[in-house]
Amino acid sequence: MTTTETDPVVAETVRRDDREHVFHSWSAQRGRDPLAVADAEGSWFTDLDGRRYLDLASQLVFTNIGHRHPRVVAAIKEQADRLCTLAPAFANDRRGEAARLIAGHAPGGLDRVFFTSGGAEANENAIRMARLHTGRHKILTAYRSYHGATGGAITLTGDPRRWPSEPGIPGVVRFFGPYPYRSAFGASSEAEECERALAHLEEVVTLEGPQSIAAVLIEPVVGTNGILVPPPGYLAGVRELCDRHGILLIADEVMAGFGRCGEWFAVDHWGVVPDLVTFAKGVNSGYVPLGGVILSPEVAETFAERPYPGGLTYSGHPLACAAAVACIRVMEDEGLIERARDLGERVLAPGLAALADRHRSIGEVRGLGCFWALELVADRGTRRPLVPFNASGPAAAPVTAVLKSALDEGVFLFGHFNRVHVLPPLNISEDDLRFGLEVLDRALAGADRHAG
């Protein structure tokens, strides 16, 4: 880890302002002491003490082209020089071009884009569209899911982050998605898991009344809740079930989309076309907040003569759309979709498998592209998690210690419950990625001490 000189007075001012005036998300406020970041470039960021860190979390899984890519920075500056902002009712060159480029890479046939400021708003509007299109009210979502923290999106979320916000919006029903390592269905193979998970979902549809269900909302590859890659045939089975009952399929690609899984959208791995796709994060690498919903022609036609009763002040913000246009062009020109796939197959899959061979605390390695997780266990035989479900504070120490150990060596990682996620920028250098895996290797020694 290298360091550069910084001004200690500036560093202390930043920390004091944050401590005294910033209210942080998902946190108890007293005692917070976040890492204060000064700048970033490529796959690295630098704190106010001059220490550099390799970003193997892509921040919150959004810097898909790394930090401060010069082409995107230039596009934002050029846009700001001539038009900083514009109300959604107007047409604008960058807004239209961004929509055209997004639609051009979307799963077959989806060709209209409704812009939002982020992923939670995208999911809120997607379920509104589904309900208005079908005239039905129920939305099915998975227990192991995260769809955002706004009022409706947090209800759609299945994991414990929704608990303090309940009761939420009506009409949300949950089901178990496939998770072969911890099968809810007693499956002993991926094929059994697929068959039984689909049978379970069909039973939920039957018991809830298909005529009342507007949509099934899924993360094609579950993100924060485990990087759960569906078994072959599962997404196609969900698509068939939805078609049979006139239910819309909504793919939440906020985290998995725009190259993260080695395809433009994760559903492309299985050739499944949803009715609605939600996106954010990687569409412009988070340089300016942007999200949206991509609509099928059939859903869009519902609002051809009937006004869509929704909108946002910053829908299609010119600076955000300019960043999206430049980011998508960078992905195309630099072959980053193919690069993510290659890094996953050639570096991450074998590299993480080698870690599993060396560390008894690793129960399973899962992922594809630049989207991976290590599931940490106290006992490989029983698969008991290294920390309890939804653990925090001292109970979560065996995993937080791994993250801290890596950070002390200059590598920033993403952790959730009993997992460590490896989520590098798609254009990370191979040397940097291998360095990150070496640091993770050393950090996992602490987890091994808690594993039998």
pLDDT single digits (tens) 7-52: 788 888 999 999 999 999 999 999 888 999 999 999 999 999 999 9
Q: What's the mean pLDDT in 447-451?
A: 93
The predicted-structure confidence for 147-183, as pLDDT tens digits, reads as follows: 999 999 999 999 999 999 999 999 999 999 999 999 9
Residue 190 has pLDDT above 90, yes or no: yes
Return the DSSP state at 189: S
The predicted-structure confidence for 224-270, as pLDDT tens digits, reads as follows: 999 999 999 999 999 999 999 999 999 999 999 999 999 999 999 99
Local structure of 434: helix, strand or coil: helix
Residue 444 has pLDDT above 70, yes or no: yes
- Cα separations in angstroms, 387 against 13, 396, 411, 416: 36, 6, 22, 10
Structure tokens at 376: 């940490």
**Greatest C-alpha distance within the chain:** 65
Return the DSSP state at 304: S
CATH 3.40.640.10-classified regions of the chain:
70-333
Return the DSSP state at 229: P
CATH 3.30.70.270 fits 70-333, yes or no: no
Residue 4 has pLDDT above 60, yes or no: no
CA distance 69 to 33: 29
Q: Pairing state of beta strands 414-416 and 419-422?
A: antiparallel
The residue type found at 445 is A
CATH 3.90.1150.10-classified regions of the chain:
8-65+335-448
pLDDT band at 117 (very low <50, low <70, confident <90, very high): very high
The three-state (H, E, C) secondary structure of 301-343, written as one string = HCCCCCCCCCCCCCCCCHHHHHHHHHHHHHHHHCCHHHHHHHH
Residue 373: which of 358, 383, 363, 382 has the closest Cα? 363
Q: Which residues is 248 bridged to in the sheet? A: 215
What is the pLDDT, as a whole number, of residue 5? 57
What is the pLDDT, as a whole number, of residue 193? 98
CATH fold of 8-65+335-448: Aspartate Aminotransferase, domain 1 (3.90.1150)
As a whole number of Å, the end-to-end CA separation of the chain is 32
CA distance 129 to 296: 11
